[in-house]
Amino acid sequence: MKNASRRVFLGGLPALGSLAHVKVASGAPGRSADSERIDQAYRIRMQSASRNRDKGYPIPEQSPDERRHDGYVACFTKGLPHNERGEVDVAAYDRYLDAIASGTLEAFNALPMGGTVKLVDPLASYGFTLEGSDPWQCTLPAPPGIASQEGAAELIEVYWQALTRDIPFREWDNHPLIQRAMRELSSIPQFAGPKENGRVTLKTLFRGTTPGELVGPYVSQFFWKDIIYGVTPIAQKYRTTEPGSDHMISVADWLAVQNGRPPVTAARFDSTLRYIRNSRDLCIWDWRDFSYQGPLNAALILLGIPGALKSNQYSTSPSMGGFVIFGGPFVLDLVARVSNAALRAAWRQKWTLHRKLRPEEYAGLVHFQREGQAKYPIESDFLLKSDAIAESKLRHGTYLIPQAYPEGSPLHTSYPSGHASIAGAAVTVLKALFREDMPIPNPVQATTDGLALEPWTGEPLTIGGELNKLASNMGIARNIAGIHYLSDAMGGLALGEQVAISILADTLPTLPFATDGLRFTSFSGREVFIG
């Protein structure tokens, strides 16, 4: 007992030397069955580590805007000190760059901040994972710059998304603001959103580019169908905010938040719970969800659909069914596991590579240039002449983007979206494990007031298409709130997919039997096999 009280702990686990008293079952002379098992476990781990090491580290793309434009005007600077136009203190930003390069707690603790709101975990960009690819092995192209037509188109889309938050999806058909949004986005050649015959239509407006998501209602079935939580069915009615509950419209409020001060306005909440029936409801859901809430809800719904799981070794077994493997615990564990790994990969991109400014910061450049108070290297053919920014000025008195959240964006950089990265990873797991081609039974849609659900009687909706739609809804809802762009959302899905594929590849060798591998359709439409 004296020895037990003197155990040394390393990282929360007993040091190997403290386990010397543990006996193993006897087996062949000089070699126990347990020893062979330990060796096998070691080989699986080493093979996984070697496979991931052999992928190498790609040369990353980095946004050129930080080096291209003076004064760091194209960069994420929220929380640092700014002047009266929201331009960052250059010396403070230089120290911020030094802290990012150092990757040390001490350097970040010494940063001069503009207020009391803290940066969101930049050191996470240096974290490691013990399965799947290292976060620094995942790649994304550089995001569009502020002088590019694509970057301008993305910001114009965010303005229109903010202006149309309160229009019920089922009233989009003939609404004049919706018509103007489609007309303007259709006119910009480099707009990267989906189109039909070269034009933005009701079927493509504010949607992503993944397979199947243009079919059916704007909102995924996994946001509307009841969730079976144990023995309790949960109706997906949510708390939302009142129409017109927008924030950071005045320059004074906007500037205070850019300097890292708490918001001066508060959300006005609707007292009635509602099914998601408009863009505001969707982005408010995305405001207070926990990290993988959407994919977790989808997993619980899918586990309740008979025959939705893909065929596996247990499907044809006369004596066994899946549970720990290819059952509920297996699905739910993987959905959670890939989510945090996806965030680590996203944080690598956000902090050490791109540091892209948020839409609220970009709109600040637009405002001060349109007011004649400054001149910035922003696109002028479409952005500065935009119908969307003119409407925003008419409605709110400034060219700033009205934010759905009082605090605007969180204090981490824009590209890629963390929400979309989680969604991309977790939805990839669900597509790999469930039948993508299976129709969703008894599809529904919300009424115009969001108080009830009605049957969807249009074209069939598949599990794969609705999972892709869920992922895009989660990413694009943050655009609707005013805090991300389309490239943030689509880039996040692609990044999360890379993370999930690598973790699934490391999971298969841990199973106690050979499998036929996992197949699914990627967000880009290609067929993926993991085996």
Dump pLDDT digits (tens) for 103-158: 999 999 999 999 999 999 999 999 999 999 999 999 999 999 999 999 999 999 99
Query: Within a 13 Å sphere around the CA of 447, how many CA atoms are in the beta-carbon half?
Result: 8
Nearest to 274 by CA among 229, 233, 223: 223
Angle at 506 between CA 133 and CA 42, to 5 degrees: 105
b/e 371-384 (16+ beta carbons within 10 angstroms → b): eeeeebbbbeebbe
Pairwise CA distance, residues 388 & 180, whole Å? 8
pLDDT attached to residue 240: 98
C-alpha 298 chain-centroid distance = 16
Closest to 184 measured CA to CA, from 165, 161, 208, 166: 161
**Which of 165, 177, 168, 367 is closest to 246 using CA atoms?**
165
CA distance 257 to 464: 40
pLDDT at 32: 73
The DSSP output letter for 529 is E
Predicted TM-score (pTM) of this structure? 0.93
- Euclidean distance between CA atoms 267 and 401, whole angstroms: 16
Token pair 């301008």 is found at 152
Q: What is the DSSP letter of 137?
A: G
Q: Which two tokens stand for residue 400?
A: 């700033």
Q: CA-CA distance, 168 to 62, in Å (whole number)?
A: 39
Find the radius of gyration of the CA atoms of the chain. Answer: 25
Residues 437-491: tens digit of each pLDDT: 999 999 999 999 999 999 999 999 999 999 999 999 999 999 999 999 999 999 9
- Reading the chain (531 residues) residue by residue, the pLDDT tens digits are 333 333 322 233 333 333 333 343 444 455 577 889 999 999 999 999 999 999 999 999 999 999 999 999 999 999 999 999 999 999 999 999 999 999 999 999 999 999 999 999 999 999 999 999 999 999 999 999 999 999 999 999 999 999 999 999 999 999 999 999 999 999 999 999 999 999 999 999 999 999 999 999 999 999 999 999 999 999 999 999 999 999 999 999 999 999 999 999 999 999 999 999 999 999 999 999 999 999 999 999 999 999 999 999 999 899 999 999 999 999 999 999 999 999 999 999 999 999 999 999 999 999 999 999 999 999 999 999 999 999 999 999 999 999 999 999 999 999 999 999 999 999 999 999 999 999 999 999 999 999 999 999 999 999 999 999 999 999 999 999 999 999 999 999 999 999 999 999 999 999 999 999 999 999 999 999 999
Superfamily the domain 128-530 falls into: Vanadium-containing Chloroperoxidase, domain 2 (1.10.606.10)
* 185 in Cβ contact with 156 (< 8 Å): yes
Count CA atoms within 13 Å of residue 78 on its CB side.
30
What is the C-alpha separation between 276 and 158, in angstroms, rounded? 20
Q: Are 410 and 180 in contact (CB under 8 A)?
A: no
Distance CA 5, CA 3 (A): 5
Tell me the two tokens of residue 499. Answer: 């993370």
Residues of the chain with CATH 1.10.606.10: 128-530
Question: How high is the pLDDT of residue 4?
Answer: 36
Q: What is the pLDDT of residue 31?
A: 58
Q: Note whether 174 and 157 are within 8 A (CB).
A: no
